[in-house]
Structure 1
Amino acid sequence: MSSLETLSAEEVSKAVQAAIKGLNQIKEVNDVVIVNTLYEIDEGLDVTLEEGRITRKQYNEMLEQNKAELAFRYEGKKDIEQQLKRMEALKAPQDEPKGFIIPETTTREEFKKLIALMETKKSLTESSEEKLLLSVLLQTAAACKNSLDEKKTFEKKSIPLLKSEEQYVTSLLSQMENSEIHDNYQKKGKLEKITKECMVDPTLSSDERRILQSLCDNISREVQGAINALITSGEAGDDKYLDKVEEHLRHSLEESEEIAITFGFKGFINEICTTFKLDPIFTISNSPIIEKMKDIKSNLFSIKEEATEFTEDDEKASLLGKGT
């Protein structure tokens, strides 16, 4: 599990120098792309069009693509410059410098939880300093997770912190241990799983899929709202939150009354209910398997009755035969 630990001056210096070197390499590549993209927008595409190598439609499409690329690269340039400025600040000596530690024992599930939490905090914070720090932590965590996915291993990471940044890491680690936040992230993950499964279920109609996807999307937004509330104020407002979940379920059931629904649809609805510890809406007796079992049981009972009657008739005939 990630932690906040004291680093030596040597560890800080080594990490800062490596980070500066990496950022400068990225900056160099990014600057080249900016120059090339500007040329394409200002001259290159015009020349290509005049030479007849592309149509006017292709020209317009490529122009828009290049403009989007340029905006993305300028945003990247700004981010790199902010990170380099942060690195320069980290060069200054600090008393008991601390770092955010990602141990090599971190699991995939822990990475998923950490990355999801950092992304949410980054989207909510109004502090430019916290946003920049979270960007750095996210990049590092994502790189470690990719290495774990591809190579089954990664090296321990120590990210030096400024004194003013320690409060943000303390908050992050505290929320990592918050079971309510973790529980809500698990619910979001379950809804995503249900959505994927219902989209490929061949037994569902397109109308059933549409209703289920809309339901999962709406409930997922409520869950994210609860997570946001927990992060910003420490309170999720559970009663109101579950009321909204039930409201979305009622609306979806009203929609489903206009179409023919299958057992698969009912199963997915029940799965959503149990995810939020609500009573299943549909009972298991609706299952075609259960109905088939009932039919088999009924047939067996009928056969048994016929066999009993047949045996009794045989006994009577036998007794009558003995008496003659």
Structure 2
Amino acid sequence: MALTIKIENPDEISKETAAKRKKVVELKEGIQDSLRNVEEDLNGGLDTELAEGRLSPEEYELHKGTNEQMLENYTNALKAAGNTIARYDQLLAENSGLCIIIPASTGRDELKQIIQGIEALLKENKNAEEVEFFNAILTRTKNLKDIVDTGKAIKETNIPITRNELVVWERIAKDLGQDNSQAKDLNYLNSQVSAVHSSKTLRGEEKSILIDLYNKLSSILLSDATDKHSKIQQAVSAVVDTSASIKRTEGFRGFLNAVCQFFKIPLAFTMKSESVASTVSIKQELQLFKKAQVADDSPEVEFDHDQQGDEAPTISYSS
């Protein structure tokens, strides 16, 4: 059974995350206390005990070696706790409820495949944030496998993730035997939201319309609907209809057409030929059009040059 991405109750997810964070903070404080004791021993404590005769030279060397190893262990543990807390802080800040869902029907072999895949990724990865994400998946999956190994059934399980982790999931899903298409679609929409926010040419109402559309499409992707493709097409068509009452810029049209291209639905706005107003070649016209798109911060739309006619039309969008 494939793992999926869903939106769970954000408040419930944040409540669980906050409780886990509290435990790690308490653990971190304990590690810090132990680390201070070790540092005190290494920074003169053991020397004093040796000088006062409370330790023999042999005992001194033994304690020194032990404390040096403990210093390394506690330092690493402190760093790991800090990384875990940072991840929880990001989850709480986003408060999105975005989760990887492990279905109750997931079998032992699939859990084993995920575990082995994550372990392989951990060996190759030095990125602290990604390692923390991988460990979150690994810990939860191992717990589920342990339950299955006892002959008991598992319940549907969620692993909260950040938006950045969703990008990582798209990259690694196939290595774990999972489909990454849903993550790919969601990441595309997230990137479009960022592009719209940063656009300097889109008008305020255009930005609002586009962001509402991206949120609507994300909801469709995260739903259990079986006709997602048609629902996406309907949502885009509805935006084309409702936005007809405003002055639509070329950038706005470009963003909508980019969505259509990505989800492989008919373009919202098509190219049309009008009266021949110049002798500019088709190739030059398309180049000018693409340059205009870049200036408008809008995503580039690909066109098949071979499908154009022999004339050099004036290029414009049909509404």
TM-score normalised according to structure 1 size: 0.46
Greater gyration radius: 1
TM-score normalised according to structure 2 size: 0.47
Identify, as 1 or 2, the structure richer in helix. Answer: 1
